[in-house]
Amino acid sequence: MIEKLKKLFQKDGKKPPKKISYMIILALVSVMLIIIGNIFSSSSETDLEEPIQQPIEQNSEPDVKETASSKETTTSNMEELESIYTKDLQSLLNKIQGVSEAEVMVNLESTSIKVYEKNLIKGQQTTEETDTNGGTRETEDGTEETQTVLVRQGEREVPLLIQTKKPEVRGVFVVAKGADHATVKKWIIEAVSRVLDVPTHRVSVMPKN
């Protein structure tokens, strides 16, 4: 490359002065150093950027798995409760006079609701202010805070459970032989409403073929 550049600067077959040759060589060396420096700097930036993205992906995966696991557990608990309600109610309805081959489907709003003991902590603060005329004014601020009561169970502390509320029933569907009679249908609706504590308009009863 250097020889080609020298020929470009030759005039009438004469060699260019030595000063020009040195300047050409210095210019080429400078260009090569700049190119090499850019290559190494770009490769080092790439190496530094790669590890930063990896922890973000790793940290986001457990949250997704935990959320999915929580939803699966809730769904499983609801299905289990619905199955228990269905079997118990079905067995009860088949014992009613005039009812046979009863089949039941129960739809729950949620799982059982657990109520834990809590302490109510109240606080009150009085602030006295003085205005420019020498008058005073008192301001009272009240705060309330609840804390869950913990009890020791073995080597760990757990919340103190005081009540477990039954889940709200969204609707009940009953198919049974004998439900075509008005009196029998009324008995079925009343039994379901009282047992599950559900309004009668949420209970549907149909005769079975």
31 within a domain of the structure (yes/no):
no
Q: What is the mean pLDDT of residues 148-154?
A: 88
Residues 118 and 202 in one domain: no
Q: What is the mean pLDDT of residues 134-152?
A: 84
pLDDT(141) > 50: yes
Residues 156 and 169 in one domain: no
Residues 98 and 120 in one domain: no
User: Residue 3 has what pLDDT?
Assistant: 57
- Residue 199 has phi, psi (to 5 degrees) of -60, 150
Q: What is the mean pLDDT of residues 3-20?
A: 53
Residues 148 and 133 in one domain: yes
User: Residue 198 has what pLDDT?
Assistant: 92
User: Residue 182 has what pLDDT?
Assistant: 95
In this structure, what CATH number is given to the domain that contains residue 86?
A: 3.30.300.30
pLDDT(17) > 60: no
Residues 187 and 150 in one domain: no
Helix (H, G, I), strand (E, B) or coil at 12: coil
169 within a domain of the structure (yes/no):
yes
Beta-carbon contacts of 185 under 8 Å, excluding residues fewer than 6 positions away, are 179, 205
Q: Are 102 and 176 in contact (CB under 8 A)?
A: yes
Please tell me what DSSP assigns to residue 126: E
Cα–Cα dist 115/2, whole Å: 88
Residues 124 and 192 in one domain: no
Q: What is the DSSP string of 70-122?
A: HHHHHHHHHHHHHHHHHHHHHHHHTTSTT-EEEEEEEEESSSPEEEE-EEEEE
Residues 121 and 107 in one domain: no
54 within a domain of the structure (yes/no):
no
Domain interval for residue 172: 79-113+165-207
User: Residue 15 has what pLDDT?
Assistant: 52
34 within a domain of the structure (yes/no):
no
What six digits make up the tokens of 107? 């739809």
When comparing pLDDT for 6 and 204, which is higher?
A: 204
pLDDT(8) > 70: no
Residues 146 and 120 in one domain: yes
Please tell me what DSSP assigns to residue 168: P
pLDDT tens digits for range 88-137: 999 999 999 999 999 999 998 877 778 888 888 888 888 888 877 777 87
The tally of domains found in the chain comes to 2
pLDDT(29) > 80: no
pLDDT tens digits for range 49-89: 444 444 434 444 445 444 545 455 556 677 888 899 999 99
Q: Identity (one letter) of the amino acid at 94?
A: N
pLDDT tens digits for range 163-206: 877 888 899 999 999 999 999 999 999 999 999 999 999 999 99
Buried b (16+ CB within 10 A) or exposed e, 28-55: eeeeeeeeeeeeeeeeeeeeeeeeeeee
Instruction: Tell me how far the alpha carbon of residue 137 is from its chain's centroid.
Output: 48
3-state helix/strand/coil string of 43-56 = HHHHHHHHHHHHHH
- H-helix or E-strand containing 171? strand 169-177
Helix (H, G, I), strand (E, B) or coil at 178: coil
